[in-house]
Amino acid sequence: MKIQVLGKGCVNCKKLKENVKLAIEELGISAEIEEVTDVDKIIEMGVLTTPGMAIDGVLKASGKGITKEQIIDIIKKG
């Protein structure tokens, strides 16, 4: 599984990355976390407001802070 954190490195983007780390630790799964900071790539993925999160290249959330619990739900739903 590859989880992409989409954003330019703002406070909310850093918090999202930390929440992703906590979620995968709690689930006990292996996942690659990639930070995508290239604006063109972020827009190409459909994000107009950061931060955003994609799993295996599929956008799952954008434009808001996502809690660890929400990330766990998103991962479980697939």
pTM listed for this prediction:
0.92
Q: Please indicate whether residue 43 is annotated as part of the active site.
A: no
Q: What pLDDT is attached to residue 46?
A: 93
Catalytic hit among 1, 10, 11, 43: 10
Q: What percent of the chain has pLDDT over 70?
A: 100
Q: Can you tell me the distance from the alpha carbon of 52 to that of 63, in angstroms, rounded to the nearest whole number? A: 6
Q: Can you tell me the distance from the alpha carbon of 46 to that of 26, in angstroms, rounded to the nearest whole number? A: 28
Does the domain spanning 2-77 belong to CATH 3.30.470.20?
no
Over residues 52-76, mean pLDDT? 94
Q: What pLDDT is attached to residue 31?
A: 96
